[in-house]
């Protein structure tokens, strides 16, 4: 039987396309299903070279070799905040590499909801290969404290939020926002917190925020963060002689930890008072979040 020239050409192009796509395998996954609003959403992208020769993935002709497709469950695309621009990747024959990509700066996760994310790889020759869709949820958490303060002439909102990244643990998150600029300076976990006691919170004269949160029976985590939400010091305190630690202010406005005992007082720490049971936490001379 004779084949028509166009049919032969179509078969060759299909075979060539299938061969190109077979060179690369891509898979994606997240380490958990639930993320706090504005928290980083890490997508683990695994890329495998299934051939015996090296493959170079480059940003050619203005197209990034790696991009992402994020949609809602009903198929509506989520607006991209910026174009991804990743360094070229070389895979040796048979090699597999896994990349950890933070999707939050790339997309506008500005509301609670369910999402689906896929990794898209542009192969040489304009072929594309897309991973399976990975579901994840973005939730508000429960705000337990908030205060608005003026910093450098602009208002910043400081909030503490309870959120359970996994079903068996609850974390306390510190969020710092500049509403006028629509900017979130910080949104990070300080560590676990028990479910029935809220934290102590104070600001010192330098604008640093001091937080003491219960993490287990008789055990507390102390954190100090600067005006932009960068954590500059943490320590563990235990209840001592039936007196639990607590935060308090002294006359000059500085914050101290009263009662309790630091779990490892020999650890290097920044200018803490040496009196037993009272550790003074003074404001640092500087520091900012890049």
**What span, in angstroms and rounded, lies between the C-alpha atoms of 131 and 43?**
12
**Separation between Cα atoms, residue 50 and residue 54, nearest integer Å:** 10
245 within 8 A of 220, measured Cβ to Cβ: yes
pLDDT given for residue 287 in this prediction: 35
Q: Return the domain boundaries, the chain.
A: 24-138, 141-281
Q: Give CA separation, 183 vs 38, 81, 155, 235, in Å.
A: 10, 13, 11, 29
Q: Is 53 exposed, middle or buried (0-12, 13-18, 19+ CB in 10 A)?
A: exposed
CATH number belonging to the domain at 24-138, selected among 3.40.920.10, 3.40.50.920, 1.10.1760.20, 2.60.40.2970: 2.60.40.2970
pLDDT for residue 10: 38
Taken in order 46, 79, 135, 36, the sign of the CA dihedral is positive
pLDDT for residue 14: 35
pLDDT of the residue at 81? 85
pLDDT digits (tens, 9 = 90+) for 52-86: 999 999 877 667 899 999 999 898 999 888 877 78
List the chain residues with pLDDT less than 50.
1-20, 267-290
The pTM of the full predicted model, rounded to 2 decimals, is 0.76
Instruction: Give residue-wise pLDDT tens across range 144-172.
Output: 999 999 999 999 999 999 999 988 899 99
Q: What is the pLDDT of residue 62?
A: 67
17 phi and psi angles, rounded to 5 deg: -65, -45
């Amino acid at each position: 039987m004779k084949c028509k020239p166009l049919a032969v050409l179509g078969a060759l192009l299909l075979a060539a396309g299938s061969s190109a796509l077979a060179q690369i395998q891509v898979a994606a996954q997240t380490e958990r299903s639930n993320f706090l609003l504005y928290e980083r959403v890490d997508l683990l992208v695994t890329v495998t070279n299934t051939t015996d020769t090296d493959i170079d993935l480059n940003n050619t002709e203005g197209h990034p070799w790696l991009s992402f497709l994020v949609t809602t469950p009903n198929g509506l695309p989520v607006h991209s905040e910026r174009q991804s621009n990743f360094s070229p990747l070389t895979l040796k024959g048979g090699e597999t590499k896994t990349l950890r990509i933070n999707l939050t700066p790339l997309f506008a996760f500005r509301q609670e909801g369910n999402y689906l994310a896929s990794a898209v790889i542009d192969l040489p020759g304009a072929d594309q290969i897309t991973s399976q869709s990975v579901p994840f949820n973005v939730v508000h958490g429960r705000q337990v404290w908030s205060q608005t303060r003026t910093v450098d002439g602009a208002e910043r909102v400081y909030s503490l939020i309870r959120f359970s990244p996994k079903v068996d643990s609850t974390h306390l998150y510190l969020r710092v926002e500049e509403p006028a600029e629509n900017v979130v300076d910080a949104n990070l976990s300080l560590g676990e917190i028990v479910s029935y006691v809220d934290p102590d919170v104070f600001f010192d004269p330098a604008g640093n925020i001091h937080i003491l949160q219960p993490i287990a029976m008789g055990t507390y985590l102390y954190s100090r963060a600067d005006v932009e939400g960068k954590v500059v010091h943490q320590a563990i305190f235990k209840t001592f002689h039936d007196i639990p630690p607590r935060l308090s202010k002294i006359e000059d406005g500085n914050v101290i930890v009263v009662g309790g005992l630091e779990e490892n007082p020999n650890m290097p720490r920044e200018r803490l008072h040496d009196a037993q049971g009272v550790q003074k936490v003074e404001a640092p001379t500087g520091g900012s979040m890049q």
